[in-house]
Chains A and B, each alone.
Chain A
Amino acid sequence: MNKSGTLDAVDVVIVGLGAGGGPAAKVLSEAGYTVIGFDKGPWLRHEEHYSGDELKFQNRSYLWPDVKLMPRTVRSDVNSKARIFNFSPVPSNVGGGTSHMAGWTPRPRPSDFIFRSLHGDLHGASLADWPYRYEHLEPYLTKVEWEYGISGLTGAEKGAGFRSKPYPSAPLPPTRFGKAFYDACKKLDINAFPLPMSHITKDNALGREAINRTSFWNQYGDPTATRSSVATTFIPDAIKTGNFEVRANSFVKEVIVDDQGVAKGVIYVDEDGIEFRQEARVVILSLGSIESARLMLLSKSRRFPDGLANDSGLVGKNATFHEYIFAVGLFDKDFTDPLYGFTGNYQSGGSMEFYETDENRGHIGGGIIATTQIGQPINMIMPGKPSWGQAAKDSDRDFFNYSMKIGFILQDMPQESNRVDLDPDVKDMWGLPVARITNKPHINDTAMSRWQINKNVEILEAAGAIRTMPVYLGDEFTGNSCHQQGSVRMGVDPRKSVLNEWGQAHSAENVFVLDGAGFPTAMGVNPTLTIMAHSWRCADYIAKVYLKGRTEKTVLEPLKNLGRK
């Protein structure tokens, strides 16, 4: 194609082929609909483009977005000027974050879906229940675990929600630091277990070959099919149907909407800068919370002058980001066996003991802890590590194999003021305003950070650490977990939310936002498994109900015995 123009209409266009877009592509194309999936980045092939090259993947941004090309800006309140910052960077390529993520894929808990019913209103926060519950999602969590490939130890998580099938793959054996973590947890009476991961191991029921045991894992592309990634599972499934086409290197700049508020399709720019119009009956946005909100705000029309489906003014608001914080423990090499902190597929044992609210801790909510890799040599993690000279060399030599880290995914409380909007000054390489993130932690976030990291320090001490280094949440989120939730909230009331329980815009019925953007609260678990299950559930609805010209409501039974004080 050498000139711009309008292309033949299809049933569905999906913008963004990561954790949200992948399952939707599979479900809709398998249901017989014609689907085009757009991604602004390239379509890299695992067997051709990935290997254990630390410099390339961790330091030279082979997969990380280049902040010069795709900048974001951040500020702590509306009165400050935003600065350019690579906030919550996620790879921009087919597969998105699933191409390189460590891949913790624990299930959410039933309590995550009724967070406001459990806690009431929290001053300064905008707590809300989800418009569906754990039991509505459970069948889809199971589908994802089996079709995508998740390793876990069924029955080891105390307090888990019910499940209809065991995990399809066994976990990896523990690393040395994993064993130290399990031993310490046992000593402290903490329920620890191998956190479910999006990879398969030798012992799996999926017929895939698991040969990557290099420990080059978090932030690396996996050259084998050991890691479950959207690019190696759902996308090939969709292509097999003959109904799905990938348009990589294609940047969608606008959703076209007619005067009645019906989306007609999208306008995109291909890799040579040529603009096209692709029409469709359904438009699915799954760019991740930040970019989905941005594209909606960029898509201004006569019907939606403030951005697509933004009648409530809530598009971009109530965003949550899951700061990753941790504590590191150093061990004495003369008295301990090596911990080999470079080994494993990032995490090697975690706990949800501190997941549910216990008000004695001085905060509500909680999250997941896990012991995680110290890293490979260049990027070994030691807070305050000497940067040069003999002390630097000694600290590498003494602690590379004698330190361990226990991380925490901080469940931040939604606040209307934590939001995504369009930066008035900074533009990206396509010349469009970039996403500006305004955020400030809630007092509950800060309290949770203190309490949990101090607990992690206690576990490190129980494991025998001779020095511990706590890393808390500071005055601002950095987006360092790359988890994105909220920003285009789901709910039952169109005045208080943008989307309904199917991820469908209240005021633009053929627009669906299928990523973490709809999540009213952040959950304490890593969002990817939930994003995939949510997308699958909503895509099922599009295929079986919406595109058949019908509607359906999710029935929410009254909640009983919540035990609220």
Chain B
Amino acid sequence: MISKSEWEIVPLTIDPDSSKKLFFTDHEWETIEAAAARIIPTDHDPGAKEARVIVFIDRYLSGIDYVYAAADGSGFLRMSGRDATAARVSNEIFKAMYREGVKDLDHLAGEFGSKNFKESPAETQDRILEKLSGRPKPEPIRFDIHEVYYSRLQGNTDQDKTFFDTLCLHVRQGFYSDPVYGGNKDQIGWKVIGFPGPKSLKDTIDGTYTTDPYFVHDVSWPELLLDFKGVAVCKVSCATEGGVCCGKLEIES
């Protein structure tokens, strides 16, 4: 078994403009692309279609070659051992889920009098997705209501979700993840919401990418804080190497 620390970098890249399909059939590709365009629609800003979310999803579903980008974005990691086995199991589940999911979308389209999902009008597509999700289509955020929530686990994996919830999450991932994964073309998703984002993953390693300008630099701690007059320092040093501290620190202004 090759340890995760030794996984090789395979020099694969993803062209977001590619129409080559590694997993989907033509029909599945067009159907999922149409669904993605309803999940993150195009308005005065680009949406899932322009971000090439479909390429992101197709590559992810194709196997385990595109699960983890190399740290510097120079390719993808060749998974091994138990991690690879687990990833293959997940991948098979997703493959089957999407194959069935496309059929379900087309079947529901039939109930709305359409030939299939992809050729339905946008309004009908929304009704189909609503029905698939089992919940009303989300309404805009309101400011006149008070709702309470309860804690849940951190992180957001795509394990153990329904097809609809998996699709929503994958579309979101394809819209906002680093462009190395094939979506978020030209950082379209980041631009829509005002996230600066690094030009490349490599820039996050060597100090090139910085969010420093977004911090507040023109205010001092004593101005900002209620009870703080200056940094307290020890001028006695009675506690060097295990001794007992007298606890007296002096404020250095």
Closest 9 pairs between A and B when the two form their complex, measured CB to CB: A155-B232, A164-B239, A52-B204, A386-B138, A164-B245, A162-B247, A474-B150, A377-B176, A211-B207
Contact B201 A213 (CB under 8 A): no
Interface size on B, residues (CB 8 A): 102
Q: Compute how far the CA of A70 lies from the CA of B214 in the bound complex, rounded to whole angstroms.
A: 39
Query: B38: shortest Cβ distance to chain A, in Å?
Result: 7
Contact B215 A212 (CB under 8 A): no
- Tell me, yes or no, whether B113 is within 8 Å of chain A by CB: no
A-B contact list, 12 entries, CB within 8 Å: A48-B5, A59-B158, A164-B243, A176-B215, A190-B226, A389-B138, A391-B139, A429-B82, A472-B149, A474-B151, A478-B151, A480-B152
- Tell me, yes or no, whether A233 is within 8 Å of chain B by CB: no
- Tell me, yes or no, whether B155 is within 8 Å of chain A by CB: yes
Contact B67 A193 (CB under 8 A): no
Q: Compute how far the CA of A30 lies from the CA of B215 in the bound complex, rounded to whole angstroms.
A: 40
- Tell me, yes or no, whether A550 is within 8 Å of chain B by CB: no
Looking at the complex, which of B14-22, B26-34, B98-106, B192-200 is the stretch in contact with chain A? B192-200
Which residues of B from 213 to 240 have beta carbons under 8 Å from A? 214-217, 219, 221, 224-234, 238-239
Contact B39 A54 (CB under 8 A): no
Q: Compute how far the CA of A323 lies from the CA of B150 in the bound complex, rounded to whole angstroms.
A: 11
Which residues of B from 68 to 82 have beta carbons under 8 Å from A? 68-69, 71-73, 81-82
Q: Compute how far the CA of A58 lies from the CA of B225 in the bound complex, rounded to whole angstroms.
A: 33
Query: A133: shortest Cβ distance to chain B, in Å?
Result: 13
Contact B232 A154 (CB under 8 A): yes
A interface footprint on B109-125 (CB within 8 Å = 1, 0 otherwise) = 00000000000000000
Apart from A158-B227, A183-B224, A214-B209: 8 A-B pairs, beta carbons within 8 A: A55-B181, A59-B173, A89-B153, A155-B228, A179-B216, A377-B175, A386-B139, A386-B140
- Tell me, yes or no, whether A216 is within 8 Å of chain B by CB: yes
Choice from A44, A156, A473, A479 contacting B225 with Cβ under 8 Å: A156
Interface size on A, residues (CB 8 A): 118
Q: Compute how far the CA of A377 lies from the CA of B173 in the bound complex, rounded to whole angstroms.
A: 9
Contact B5 A49 (CB under 8 A): yes
> How would you classify the secondary structure of chain B's contact residues: helix, strand, loop or mixed?
loop
B interface footprint on A57-72 (CB within 8 Å = 1, 0 otherwise) = 0111110101111000
Q: A59-B156, A213-B212, A478-B152 are in contact. Are A377 and B189 (CB under 8 A)?
A: yes
On chain B, the residues within 8 Å of A85 by CB distance are 153
Query: B244: shortest Cβ distance to chain A, in Å?
Result: 8
Which residues of B from 157 to 189 have beta carbons under 8 Å from A? 157-159, 165, 168-169, 171-173, 175-178, 180-181, 189
- Tell me, yes or no, whether A312 is within 8 Å of chain B by CB: no
Query: B111: shortest Cβ distance to chain A, in Å?
Result: 20
On chain B, the residues within 8 Å of A162 by CB distance are 245, 247
Contact A480 B156 (CB under 8 A): no
Query: A276: shortest Cβ distance to chain B, in Å?
Result: 16
- Tell me, yes or no, whether A185 is within 8 Å of chain B by CB: yes
On chain B, the residues within 8 Å of A176 by CB distance are 214-216
On chain B, the residues within 8 Å of A379 by CB distance are 155-156
